[in-house]
Structure 1
Amino acid sequence: MNQSSLTTILHSLNFDRQFLFSPFPKTLSDRLEFIVRKYSLLLNHHYLGRPVRLGDSKVRINGRFFYYESTLGIAPYQTMLVNFENRYLPYLQNLHKPLVIDIGAHIGFFSLTAAKLCKPSRIFACEPLRLTFSLLKKNCTGEKAIIPIHLGFWNKPTRHKMFYTESFLAYSSLFPERFTWNNHPMTQTVKVTTLDAFAKRNHIDRIDLLKIDAEGAEEQILKGASQTLTKTIYLLIECSFDQLGGSTMSSLVKHLHGKEKNFQLIEIGDIRRTPQRELATIDFFFKNLRFKGARQKQYPLPASIG
């Protein structure tokens, strides 16, 4: 076993240890069942090489089915549950029936996590790619708070070409240069709009949590969200370091400050690196210090960051 494989296994076992003490699933037996299913899928697909059948590959856990789209199976869902509880929930648990917008909802693991841990009033789970959206709808079946929306976001309402590969839908992007390992990704024209237009159309006057993970399009989305950001309390956003569309961390952050908004970084989430150990993406969690909505009950901040 090489060093990389050993590190991956130890990392997975650490998540298992934390997951055993999570508030969801509710019982220890349910959490143990989840872990067993996770390793069963990893063994079948990731190590034995059995193919994933998009749209059909699913696993039954705790009495319901979860669809997955990669050889990692449901491991990303476990990662989401653990990270959300440890890093973001301490800030969000003081919100009463929060409204959440999930841009780049993919197949729904983040929305499912927020639905279980935050008890929201509504979650708008937005995903533009047809194949990914079909899996999102299946995974969110029965979740009354989650509203799947077949839509992408940009700096203006239009139709845009999207690039993707069926072997890993999580990398779907509006930028072809994201596919450094594939010179001929598949394409699909998708409908995109601005967050300002979406909020106006749906009569949204307050967003408790806005999550943006759009594979390089994050800054373009912020350009179309100048009004909506003033009504947003918390922002969880992925920052890409491959400078897609000329975007940098500095140029992205400048959209978070203005007369009616001032987002302060309060937490750093996942840090991902390239095989050459260069920074690839970082998840940043911000709070809008100038939000003028209803007063929130105050809780002490977590003792540590990271």
Structure 2
Amino acid sequence: MLPDDVSVSLRQNGFFEYDLSAFYLRFLKNGMTFVDVGAHVGYFSMLASRAVGPAGRVFSFEPTQSTYDVLVTNARTESNITPINQAVWSEEAEIELHDYGPCFSAFNSAFGARSEGVRTGFSERTHSVQAVSPDSFVRDQGCTPHVVKIDVESAEGHVLRGMHHVLSEHRPVVSLEVGDMGVPGAASSRDLIEHVLAYDYRAFELSDGQALPHQPKRE
């Protein structure tokens, strides 16, 4: 998959997104269930798989077929990973996905690419993918998620709107990608955080792999 950002980081450093990786390794325990929404080629799914052990479960959602194929190859040795070739959305639906090709697959999204360079410098193709809501998936699986990672390139708001039952009843740790990139139609970071706080959650931010209390900034 070189030279996409994840593969380059893994080859150069042996890890990707140090703070998040370190937090998962500290927090995840044997037997937990990890839901990877936006699994890409499976780095965090593989990390979680080793952390939760044979008694745990990892559900890895990746809607782009070519990226999903790599995810399946990477996860083939881990019996506790279930790759799922679907998007995650506020409801069960068929949505349009912007695909920027293998080298820029980390930017694939139901919205425009978060990177200005990708938006203006590279071609894209759009295709339809099936999507499921977190609530319906968890209900159908009969599982109890302990950690839900959401990294879906500006579609985080839609995922959260499909998590009412998960947030109110199961109350997993939610790892959420934020960062306002000026993508039309995407929820702001503040809106995403306030949505989760409305479920009586507390917000934290990562520093050196540790979760520290986050204070929402005034607008």
TM-score computed with the length of structure 2 as normaliser: 0.81
Q: Work out the CA distance in 1 between the residues paired with 2:152 and 2:20.
A: 18
**1:195 matches 2:134:** yes
In structure 1, give the amino acid aligned to 2:109: S
Q: Work out the CA distance in 2 between the residues paired with 1:215 and 1:269.
A: 22
Q: State the 1:139 CA deviation.
A: 0.5
Q: Work out the CA distance in 1 between the residues paired with 2:131 and 2:70.
A: 19
SS in 2 for 1:267: strand
Alignment partner of 1:110 out of 44, 59, 66: 44
SS in 2 for 1:240: coil
Alignment partner of 1:172 out of 80, 91, 108: 108
Q: Is the 8 A contact 2:149 2:174 kept in 1?
A: yes
User: Structure 2 vs 1, CA of residues 81 and 140 (structure 1 numbering), >3 Å: closer, same or farther?
Assistant: farther
Alignment partner of 2:153 out of 187, 190, 215: 215
Q: State the 1:115 CA deviation.
A: 1.4
**1:263 matches 2:201:** yes
- The farther-off stretch of 238-247 and 153-162 is 238-247
Matched with 2:173 is: 234
Q: State the 1:257 CA deviation.
A: 2.8
TM-score computed with the length of structure 1 as normaliser: 0.60
Q: Work out the CA distance in 2 between the residues paired with 1:107 and 1:247.
A: 25
Q: Is the 8 A contact 2:134 2:159 kept in 1?
A: yes
Q: Work out the CA distance in 1 between the residues paired with 2:126 and 2:212.
A: 33
Rg larger in structure:
1
In structure 2, give the amino acid aligned to 1:122: R
SS in 2 for 1:114: helix
User: Structure 2 vs 1, CA of residues 257 and 115 (structure 1 numbering), >3 Å: closer, same or farther?
Assistant: same
Q: Work out the CA distance in 2 between the residues paired with 1:155 and 1:72.
A: 28
Alignment partner of 1:247 out of 168, 187, 193: 187
Structure 2 gap segments, 5+ residues each: 214-219
User: Structure 2 vs 1, CA of residues 108 and 285 (structure 1 numbering), >3 Å: closer, same or farther?
Assistant: farther
Q: Work out the CA distance in 2 between the residues paired with 1:286 and 1:99.
A: 23
SS in 2 for 1:241: coil
Question: Cα deviation per residue 1:31-74 (whole Å; 9 max; x = unaligned)?
Answer: xxxxxxxxxxxxxxxxxxxxxxxxxxxxxxxxxxxxx3435574
Question: Cα deviation per residue 1:57-93 (whole Å; 9 max; x = unaligned)?
Answer: xxxxxxxxxxx34355744342238444533433x15
Q: State the 1:144 CA deviation.
A: 0.7
Q: Is the 8 A contact 2:91 2:133 kept in 1?
A: yes
What is the total number of aligned residue pairs between the two structures? 203
Q: State the 1:97 CA deviation.
A: 0.9
Q: Is the 8 A contact 2:88 2:159 kept in 1?
A: yes
SS in 2 for 1:115: helix
Alignment partner of 1:133 out of 68, 78, 101: 68
In structure 1, give the amino acid aligned to 2:95: H
User: Structure 2 vs 1, CA of residues 170 and 286 (structure 1 numbering), >3 Å: closer, same or farther?
Assistant: farther
In structure 1, give the amino acid aligned to 2:175: L
**1:100 matches 2:34:** yes
Q: Work out the CA distance in 1 between the residues paired with 2:107 and 2:163.
A: 23
Q: Work out the CA distance in 2 between the residues paired with 1:163 and 1:172.
A: 5
**1:70 matches 2:3:** yes
Q: Is the 8 A contact 2:5 2:106 kept in 1?
A: no
Higher relative contact order (CA 8 A, sep 6+): 2
**1:80 matches 2:19:** no
User: Structure 2 vs 1, CA of residues 158 and 133 (structure 1 numbering), >3 Å: closer, same or farther?
Assistant: same
Percent identity between the aligned chains?
Answer: 23
Structure 1 gap segments, 5+ residues each: 1-67, 271-283, 288-306
In structure 1, give the amino acid aligned to 2:88: F
Q: Work out the CA distance in 1 between the residues paired with 2:140 and 2:178.
A: 27
Q: Work out the CA distance in 1 between the residues paired with 2:122 and 2:135.
A: 34
Q: Larger strand proportion, structure 1 or 2?
A: 1
